[in-house]
Amino acid sequence: MTDEAPGTGRPVLPSGMQAQLDSSSYMGVPTFGLRPHLTEPAQLDEWAPDVAVIGAPWDDNTTNRPGARFGPRALRANAYDAGSYHLDLEIEIFDHLWVVDYGDAIVSPGMWEPSRKAIHQRVLDVAGRGIVPVVIGGDHSVTWPSGMAVADHHGHGRIGMVHFDAHADTADILRGNLASHGTPMRRLIESGAIAGRDFVQVGLRGYWPPPDVQEWMRGQGMRHHPMQEIWERGIQDVMDDVIAEASDGTDGIYLSIDIDVLDPGFAPGTGTPEPGGLAPVDLLRAVRQVALRTNVVAMDVTEVCPPYDHADLTVNNAHRLIWETLAGLAYKKRSAI
């Protein structure tokens, strides 16, 4: 790292690196949001960012269409570069929030245990330094090691989860697989990393899970707001309840978004599409509210499956969900000065 820019506490990037990052997403180095690329834990200490983006390119635990392993690369290279000034919040995001791309957890295809450990360690590198990890998957099973790493730092039972998804992901085992993308929330609850009562799920719909799984969820005190409730009450009223519930008795919030919470008309590139979901106009603002009104300590966006995408619709919606979160964090940091 070179000298600090006067008055910012941030590095002056080498001219060649700056030129690469000042281009567009389709040229130069494919980093998320054209942010500087770090690879070493020591660099995190040196640069001291507020947020670090991590790729988790794993999809071997999916039960339907594979391909989410390509999600991190697509979110870095294919998303439309729309700028970083937030019109509604009237804030230039990166003037107030120092964000880097910390590369990928290097997974081992077909081998869950080493891959789980790689994701856990990569996230712990970030969360353990008080930096907010933003994990881009990958199927939703990556939330198990990621959530464990965040809880290892903040304390088991001290964080809550706001979980946007078409599916509850609370099965005990699916097709013999305890680590399926349909089981991560159960694993986190059983481990004690996140208490059942501190799970708030939004957007559930369709025809799964079956009654025995729902009975287990009720026994854990999990709270959920399905699409039927959102249709009846409206997203704004529902989100007031979500934020109050998630903040009750917790020190921070892990925000987990399965892109299939969106209606597949807006997000066709996903492994388990379920009709009848949210529209981006509502989800983007709901996520922004979580960032503005809770203490977000971690985030993931999962199940973006580029081989089934059309015109990068899914990629761009997923990208903007992270952009909204970063804008909310930047707004709060500016207000705290």
Non-local (6+) Cβ contacts of 278 within 8 A are: 164, 203, 227, 230, 235, 261, 262, 263, 286
Whether residue 213 is predicted with pLDDT greater than 80 in this model: the reply is: yes
Paired sense of beta strands 223-225 and 91-92, if any: unpaired
pLDDT digits (tens, 9 = 90+) for 117-128: 999 999 999 999
SS3 content of the chain, % helix, strand, coil (to 5): 45, 15, 40
CB 297 within 8 A of CB 152: no
pLDDT at position 25 is 66
pLDDT at position 9 is 67
Lookup: tokens for 319: 């990208």
Tell me the C-alpha distance between 199 and 256, whole Å: 11
* Amino acid, single-letter form, for residue 330: A
- Respond yes or no on whether the N-terminal peptide bond of residue 268 is cis (omega within 30° of 0): no
Please state, as a whole number, how many other Cβ atoms lie within 10 Å of the Cβ of residue 113.
Answer: 9
pLDDT at position 173 is 94
pLDDT at position 337 is 75
Tell me the C-alpha distance between 121 and 47, whole Å: 19
Exposed (0-12), middle (13-18) or buried (19+): which is 178, by Cβ within 10 Å?
middle
Tell me the C-alpha distance between 316 and 65, whole Å: 20
Mean pLDDT of 2-27: 71
Whether residue 134 is predicted with pLDDT greater than 90 in this model: the reply is: yes
Helix (H) or strand (E) holding 71: helix 71-77
Q: Pick from 119, 114, 40: which is nearest to 72 by CA?
A: 119
**What does the mean pLDDT of the chain come to?**
95
Whether residue 184 is predicted with pLDDT greater than 90 in this model: the reply is: yes
Q: Pick from 45, 46, 55, 20: which is nearest to 35 by CA?
A: 20
Whether residue 2 is predicted with pLDDT greater than 60 in this model: the reply is: no
10: confidence class by pLDDT, cuts 50, 70, 90 = confident
- Using DSSP, state whether 74 is helix, strand or coil: helix
7: confidence class by pLDDT, cuts 50, 70, 90 = low
pLDDT digits (tens, 9 = 90+) for 90-109: 999 999 999 999 999 999 99
Whether CATH 3.10.290.10 fits 15-336: no
pLDDT at position 5 is 60
- Using DSSP, state whether 257 is helix, strand or coil: strand
262: confidence class by pLDDT, cuts 50, 70, 90 = very high
CB 149 within 8 A of CB 67: no
Q: Pick from 318, 326, 288, 320: which is nearest to 301 by CA?
A: 318
Whether residue 23 is predicted with pLDDT greater than 70 in this model: the reply is: no
pTM: predicted TM-score of the whole model, two decimal places: 0.94
CB 320 within 8 A of CB 83: no
pLDDT at position 1 is 45
pLDDT digits (tens, 9 = 90+) for 276-294: 999 999 999 999 999 999 9
Strand residues in 93-197 grouped as ranges (E): 99-104, 132-137, 159-164
What count of residues does the chain have? Answer: 337
In three-state form (DSSP H/G/I as H, E/B as E, the rest C), the secondary structure along 193-245 is: CCCHHHEEEECCCCCCCCHHHHHHHHHHCCEEECHHHHHHHCHHHHHHHHHHH
